[in-house]
Structure 1
């Protein structure tokens, strides 16, 4: 988790507000990032005048400028939780599957807990919703009694502290993509992958060109996304797993996709990161 470091300022003891937003929930490439920003309640009006806005409405240059200003401002705290593509997919495809909403909720609660653990006297928290806002708000209120929770749709355009969190999340994700170093050895991947969103033709072309018939996609790719499954079925070799005999009715494409769902300890990181397990085939 990234964030402001150093000695905690005195204003942490004052009543404080915190906003939370995410970036990169929908793309098939790269991390999903949850960001938060927080400040003393007495600074609420000043934050409203700092030109923070929904990051999607700002140019990249403006977002970068605002983020650097936020980092230099000692009256504002911030943190970011970067959840990488392979971690998202591993959680969503493991035997006890975890939904993207559940992953998102856990990340948001982790940011709130992180601020409280630093000694921030949180009295109000504002969150851009994932799922039903009323249920989400109730869950947060039960998890953090004594903190007034406000969960809304489009919170990044309603509350300046959430707008600031939106800047944190978006810039952190953009920088992570620009600085991305492919961990796969001996393979050259182009970087012309477009926006990373499933509907982007450039992204779809890049995915089709960079799927290995045995090892699948590089670690930049969220291989659990629906965009990837037909490519695996079409372009990857079939894999016979030891437990295939238990369910002979399972389709070929389903068996191919399930290649990602098992792993063993002590194996090369390439296999472990993709949840691949070696099996023995008797001819």
Structure 2
């Protein structure tokens, strides 16, 4: 059932929705957000229809599944196609609108569109995953009132502000490498710790150790194999190893 089809009777039941995108990374063409929704009672059947990440499917299989989707009257869907000119205009205007905000607006727009069609939408599957997320950290003041998780959500902003730590950063739920997180660490504490690594000239201090600043470390994509990254970390604590933080000399 396409987005322009008549609304079937099952949409009056509690429904779930999933949202995904294609074309976020390429330099050519549009970015497309799409949603699929169905009655919660149809969820188990939906999981048996062999849908999967499009990158794992051959073109013939994708076309076959798309035809099946269009013919299935127990499924509804809608898409938002964002023209490359619109993307460029928003990201280059004086008051820039970044890709995260564009993506957020597209996803919210799809939800509003489906709700306005009269679908009794009670849950989006990503919301469920976020809601059921088990926080690894155990601080007493941790809570899960983090809203949608999008950078424009006031609840998300408040949660990030409340859960930042000026030494250890954010809980592991947060994509801390995103630029969204940068403003929260203007007053980050300068941290010094001992390292067994020698200086650049091969020398070290009298006790074989030297002090390193937290600011000496940055998030960077290593040129080494992942196995080497995971097995390295001499002189570094578990916190930095787990987050793939490395010492760099150039940015």
TM-score, length basis structure 1: 0.46
Matches within 5 A, 1:142-221: none
The alpha-carbon deviation at position 136 of structure 1 amounts to 6.4
**Partner Cα separation in structure 2 for residue 66 and residue 32 of structure 1:** 21
Larger relative contact order, structure 1 or 2 (CA cutoff 8 Å, min sep 6)? 1
Deviation at 1:137, TM superposition (A): 2.2
Q: Name which of 148, 152, 156 aligns with 1:137.
A: 148
What is aligned with 2:109? 110
Shift in Å at residue 107 of structure 1? 0.2
Residue of structure 1 equivalent to 2:100? 101
1:34 equivalent to 2:45? Answer no
Is the 1:34–1:108 Cα contact (8 Å) retained in structure 2?
yes
Deviating runs (4+, > 2 A) in structure 1?
133-140
SS of residue paired to 2:95: coil
Residues 115-155 of structure 1: CA deviation (Å, up to 9, x unaligned):
10001111110239xxxx98562559x79xxxxxxxx99xx
* 8 A Cα contact 1:92 1:99, kept in partner: yes
1:72 maps to 71
Task: Report the equivalent of 1:52.
Answer: 51
**Deviation sequence 1:201-230 (CA, Å, 0-9, x none):** xxxxxxxxxxxxxxxxxxxxxxxxxxxxxx
Structure 2's unaligned 5+ residue stretches are 128-132, 134-143, 155-172, 175-251
- Give the whole-Å Cα distance in 1 for the aligned partners of 2:147 and 2:18: 15
Contact 1:24 1:31 in 2 (8 A): yes
Instruction: Give yes or no for the alignment of 1:17 onto 2:16.
Output: yes
Taking structure 2 as the reference length, the TM-score comes to 0.51
Query: Larger C-alpha radius of gyration, 1 or 2?
Result: 2
Separation (CA, whole Å) in 2 of partners of 1:7 and 1:80: 16
Q: Distance in 1 between matches of 2:91 and 2:149?
A: 24
Structure with greater helix share of residues: 1
Contact 1:3 1:80 in 2 (8 A): no
What SS does the corresponding residue of 1:22 show, helix, strand or coil?
strand
The gaps in structure 1 that reach 5 residues or longer are 144-151, 154-283
* 8 Å CA contact 2:104, 2:150 repeated in 1: no
Alpha carbon RMSD of aligned pairs, Å?
A: 2.7
SS at match of 1:120: coil
Instruction: For residue 58 of structure 1, report the CA deviation from its aligned partner.
Output: 0.7
1:3 is displaced (CA, Å) by 4.1
Q: CA deviation at 1:31?
A: 0.3
3-state secondary structure, aligned to 1:137: coil
Q: How many residues align?
A: 139
Q: Deviation at 1:61?
A: 1.1
CA drift at 1:104: 0.3
User: Deviation digits for residues 242-261 of structure 1, max 9, x if unmatched?
Assistant: xxxxxxxxxxxxxxxxxxxx
Aligned pair in 2 of structure 1 residues 8, 21: CA closer, same or farther (>3 Å)? same
Cα distance change on mapping 1:59 and 1:44 into 2, 3 Å? same
